[in-house]
């Protein structure tokens, strides 16, 4: 399994720690989930955005770079 070394600033590290604690998991698992979510959204992206709907109403558009 490939191993990566990633540097984050203090704020990003705090965010990762908070998310991991809230979910009862590790920072590595949070990063894995984030990458999986990004891959999913990238695959679902149509016309440059993914829309979140509630009924027939668009609640939010997610635009990926």
Question: Model confidence over 1-46: pLDDT tens digits?
Answer: 899 999 999 999 999 999 999 999 999 999 999 999 999 888 888 7
| Residues 61 and 51 sit within 8 Å (Cβ to Cβ) | yes
DSSP state of 39: H
- H helix intervals, 1-65: 10-23, 27-44
Is the pLDDT higher at 14 or at 61?
Answer: 14
CA-to-CA distance for 65 and 53, rounded, in angstroms?
A: 21
pTM: 0.78
Is the pLDDT higher at 60 or at 33?
Answer: 33
Q: In the Cβ-directed half-sphere of 49, how many Cα atoms lie within 13 Å?
A: 9
């Amino acid at each position: 399994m490939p191993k990566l070394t990633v540097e984050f600033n203090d704020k990003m590290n705090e965010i990762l720690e908070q998310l991991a604690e809230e979910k009862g998991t590790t920072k590595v698992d949070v990063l894995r989930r984030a990458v999986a979510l990004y891959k999913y959204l990238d695959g679902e992206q149509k016309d440059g955005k993914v829309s979140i709907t509630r009924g027939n109403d668009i609640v939010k558009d997610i635009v990926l770079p």
